[in-house]
């Protein structure tokens, strides 16, 4: 810890805090750690105060109502953020690319995931690297089969919270659809709508530094850059052969495991 007078300095970004607790809370913005979990919906928070405010949602105390739809909120700040989804206002602009975001937390997440190359957290199952402990924790569920998000209307359970939200919307009509104003196509997630709108506009903001090929989504670029690399992250559990793409190792494993089993007969 670097101390300058009464200030505590973050080793990641240089931000100074007035005390060690404030610095600890700030560091979670880099690590993605969210130690405080809601006992009702399992949503997690980096600060206990945010969990307390969130808990009001479940108490039914929603004083701030949206004048554009029927939604209501327990805090005025949440209402203001919600209204931006109606207006399309995205005041938080990324200084490194053309993307902009509705909330500051979305911007910070974008910068950490897209523009940072630091990945200190590795998966003990497959070796894949991640930028935060939270991302690693979510990834490990793929290997363990854990499904901590359960539907309160039926017996369905899911690996990720976004899957539960999509299920609630599609199966139980709970939530809000995001609709394209050009073709009226509906999406269960706002980032999917944003990617869809880029296709209408013909914009490909994610550019490969090797071949200058453009892509609509960061995930598409991450998949593409593997063709320029010798890295093969996916390993066949049967024969040990490595592959650059997950779908290739899945297809290979189905054939490989069958052949190994047949030889053993």
Partners of 100 in the β-ladder: 93
More confident residue, 199 or 246: 199
Among residues of the chain, what percentage have pLDDT more than 90?
8
- pLDDT tens digits, residue range 210-227? 888 888 878 788 778 777
Domain assignment of residue 139, yes or no: no
Domain assignment of residue 2, yes or no: no
In this predicted structure, which of 24-38, 42-56, 117-131, 228-242 has the lowest mean pLDDT? 228-242
Domain assignment of residue 162, yes or no: no
What's the token pair of residue 224? 């593409």
Neighbours of 179 (CB within 10 A): 12
Domain assignment of residue 55, yes or no: no
Domain assignment of residue 246, yes or no: yes
Of 2-6, 152-156, 225-229, 252-256, where does the model show the most confidence? 152-156
Domain assignment of residue 251, yes or no: yes
* Number of domains forming the structure of the chain: 1
- pLDDT tens digits, residue range 4-63? 444 688 887 777 888 888 888 888 888 888 888 888 888 888 888 888 877 776 766 667
Domain containing 244: what range?
231-265
Taking alpha carbons only, the member of 222, 182, 177, 178 closest to residue 198 is 182
Helix (H, G, I), strand (E, B) or coil at 207: strand
Domain assignment of residue 248, yes or no: yes
Read off the pTM.
0.42
Domain assignment of residue 166, yes or no: no
């Amino acid at each position: 810890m670097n101390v300058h007078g009464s200030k505590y300095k973050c080793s990641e970004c240089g931000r100074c805090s007035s005390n060690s607790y404030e610095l600890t809370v700030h560091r979670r913005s880099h690590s993605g750690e969210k130690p405080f979990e809601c006992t009702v919906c399992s949503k997690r928070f980096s600060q206990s105060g945010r969990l307390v405010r969130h808990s009001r949602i479940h108490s039914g105390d929603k004083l701030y109502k949206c004048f554009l739809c029927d939604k209501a909120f327990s805090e005025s700040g949440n209402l203001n953020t919600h209204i931006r989804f109606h207006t399309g206002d995205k005041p938080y602009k990324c200084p490194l690319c053309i993307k902009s975001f509705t909330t500051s937390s979305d911007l910070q997440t974008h910068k950490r995931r897209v523009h940072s190359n630091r990945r200190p957290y590795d998966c003990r199952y497959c070796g894949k690297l991640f930028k935060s402990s939270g991302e690693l924790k979510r990834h490990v569920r793929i290997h363990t089969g854990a499904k901590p998000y359960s539907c309160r209307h039926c017996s369905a359970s899911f690996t990720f919270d976004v899957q539960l939200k999509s299920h609630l919307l599609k199966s139980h009509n709970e939530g809000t659809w995001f609709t394209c104003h050009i073709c009226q196509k509906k999406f269960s997630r706002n980032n999917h709508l944003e990617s869809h709108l880029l296709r209408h506009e013909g914009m490909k903001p994610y550019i490969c530094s090797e071949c200058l090929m453009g892509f609509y989504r960061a995930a598409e670029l991450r998949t593409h850059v593997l063709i320029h690399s010798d890295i093969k992250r996916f390993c066949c559990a049967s024969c040990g052969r490595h592959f650059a793409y997950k779908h290739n190792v899945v297809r290979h494993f189905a054939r490989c495991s069958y052949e190994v089993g047949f030889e053993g007969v």
